[in-house]
Amino acid sequence: MQKVIITGGTGYIGSHTVVEFQNAGFEVVVIDNLSNSVIEVLTGIESITGIRPIFYQIDVSETKDLETVFKDHKDAVAVIHFAAYKAVGESVKEPLKYYQNNIQGLVNVLSNMIKYDIPNLVFSSSCTVYGQPEKLPVTEDTPVVKAESPYGNTKKINEEIIVDTINSSENLNAISLRYFNPIGAHISANIGELPLGVPNNLLPYITQTAIGLRKELSVFGDDYNTPDGTAIRDYINVCDLAKAHVVAVKRLLNNALRYEVFNIGTGKGSSVMEIINAFESSTGQKLNYKIVDRRAGDIEQVWADTSKANKILCWKAEISLDETVKSAWEWEKKVQKS
């Protein structure tokens, strides 16, 4: 059985990715410091796949602790690196916390991969590296621009660190997956998104409003240059996104190019109002919302050209928007019950 190490494997995207690797027949080692997730996620994973992953509660920015895990699992064929802070607003207030954790974490992961000869990395990057592109949809050749937040900058810098490291080493290969907007939960409702405190992202805010935890959803701006005036994003089901990591590792194992970048989205943009409508119609819940001013730093519209991933990785998003928002709702109901 081939083994992979998944950092941040109890987090939102990480946990769904653990499930997909287990389903594909890999043995999974999870490293997570539980700073933004809970240990019960492992039980959720086990209830889906029947397998509890090997788990280390370790911070990837702690050099010594991390090395112990890599030493014990130097037979791993790949590392999937998720562990990072991800709140855009917080990163503006506490940039050094983000640079310290997100940059040092990757440096430690790469150092150990070189030291223990683990040759393949899949890195979780973001469409934030494109900023507001001039041309839509966004291809992988769309220029990477100056980041709008320290968080975004850590993604940009991390991609550069990976390229420099590959150029200087003989046996390291990587794929960066630039995610658009992951939403939804596993169909079993045994794992899903668990935001700490007040959610920043649209979908958890919607489900928490519908369940009564929040009074109303604020729709940030209806005066954008879009058909209904609300901002447009490419919302992708988290399980579809998770599967992209499995095909990326398989490509690396087949001696593909040493470094590649892929957009991971659906190829379709949806406005905030379209998401609200999809939520209401697929769940039968009425959502309390009001239009407020634009949120500072938000871009107007972005969606992916996914033809590179479709063609080269033979991957495409399959789960519909309606099914996806419904899965988020089923998860929210389960979380509130427990």
The single residue among 147, 172, 185, 202 that binds ligand UDP, judged by CB under 6 A, is: 202
Residue 156 interacting with ligand UDP (CB under 6 A):
no
Residue with Cβ nearer ligand UDP (8 or 131): 131
Q: Which of residues 263-302 bind ligand UDP (CB under 6 A)?
A: 272, 295, 298
Give the binding range for ligand UDP (CB under 6 A) out of 40-48, 92-100, 111-119, 197-205: 197-205
Query: Which one of the spans 48-56, 129-137, 216-224, 242-250 is the region binding ligand UDP (CB under 6 A)?
Result: 216-224
Contacts of 288 (CB under 8 A, 6+ apart): 209, 215, 216, 217
Among 45, 177, 231, 261, binds ligand UDP (CB under 6 A): 231
Nearer to ligand UDP, 28 or 217 (CB): 217
Stretch binding ligand UDP (CB under 6 A), from 105-113, 148-156, 201-209, 308-316: 201-209
Annotated active-site residue 151? The verdict is: yes
Find the binder of ligand UDP among 200, 285, 307, 310 (CB under 6 A): 200
In SS3 terms, the chain reads as: CCEEEEECCCCHHHHHHHHHHHHCCCEEEEEECCCCCCCCHHHHHHHHHCCCCEEEECCCCCHHHHHHHHHHCCCCCEEEECCCCCCHHHHHHCHHHHHHHHHHHHHHHHHHHHHCCCCEEEEEEEHHHHCCCCCCCECCCCCCCCCCCHHHHHHHHHHHHHHHHHHHCCCCEEEEEEECEEECCCCCCCCCCCCCCCCCCHHHHHHHHHCCCCCCEEEECCCCCCCCCCCEECEEEHHHHHHHHHHHHHHHHCCCCCEEEEEECCCCCEEHHHHHHHHHHHHCCCCCEEEECCCCCCCCECCECCHHHHHHCCCCCCCCHHHHHHHHHHHHHHHHHC
Site residue total, ligand UDP (CB under 6 A): 14
Q: Is 217 in the site for ligand UDP (CB under 6 A)?
A: yes
Burial 126-140 (b: 16+ CB within 10 A, else e): bbbbbbebeebbbeb
In the complex, least distance from residue 240 CB atom to ligand UDP, rounded to whole angstroms:
17
- Select from 43-51, 213-221, 313-321, 327-335 the region that touches ligand UDP (CB under 6 A): 213-221
Among 80, 219, 242, 317, binds ligand UDP (CB under 6 A): 219
Q: How far is the CB of 269 from ligand UDP (least distance, A)?
A: 11
State which residue has the least CB distance to ligand UDP.
231
Does 205 bind ligand UDP (CB under 6 A)? Our answer is: yes
Q: How far is the CB of 198 from ligand UDP (least distance, A)?
A: 9
Annotated active-site residue in 56, 151, 205, 235? 151
- What residues act catalytically? 151
Binding site for ligand UDP (CB under 6 A): 181, 200-202, 205, 217-220, 231, 233, 272, 295, 298
